[in-house]
Amino acid sequence: MLEPITTAVLGTARTDHYRQVMTRIESLLEGEDDWVAAMATVSCELHHAFDYFDWTGFYRVRGPDLLDVLVLGPYQGGHGCLRIPFDKGVCGAAARTRETQLVPDVEAFPGHIACSSTTRSEIVVPVLTPDGRLLAVLDVDSNSEAAFDETDQAALETLATILGARFAQFAPHATG
């Protein structure tokens, strides 16, 4: 297991740590075809590799009857919200816009849902299939303000792209 890094580690050192984490995740997921097992493994590895990741997990799209609500998936940390509509909070914004939400101060985010009163910053990355369907969002909360930067965003977006391509068959299809 890698030694976790803190928010004080920046730039190249943070990028290098992400490379090591990604290599470990790729190795652990080799040959795995179960989406839930993959989300659980990714959540665990990320959560324990970064001291400032205080809640790390996935909210899944279920459907076709629930295409506008995220449902809690595998995670590490305290309790998460069980369901999040697309029109609520940081996770909902990422699902609705299909864009990463990098929030240095959750108190300043309109409509933020306080699943934990200790959360101060958050990054949420949509997991999209190659054809643009939303599979899930990867949500990471920190109890420190402005914990996440562009390095975190780039690495987590790369991971989300890999997961979206690899597990695309689990994305719901709209009906009607």
Domain ranges of the chain: 11-169
The fold for domain 11-169 equals Beta-Lactamase (3.30.450)
The H or E element spanning position 20 is helix 11-29
Convert the pLDDT of each residue in 87-117 to its tens digit.
Answer: 999 999 999 999 999 999 998 998 777 777 8
In this structure, are residues 135 and 129 in contact, taking their beta carbons and an 8 Å threshold? yes
From edge to edge, which strands make up the β-sheet containing 121-128? 83-85, 69-76, 55-61, 134-142, 121-128, 101-103
What integer is the mean pLDDT of 43-56?
A: 97
Give the integer Cα–Cα distance in Å for 72 and 61.
9
* Residue 21 predicted with pLDDT over 80: yes
Q: What pTM did the predictor assign? A: 0.93
Name the maximum alpha-carbon separation found in the chain.
50
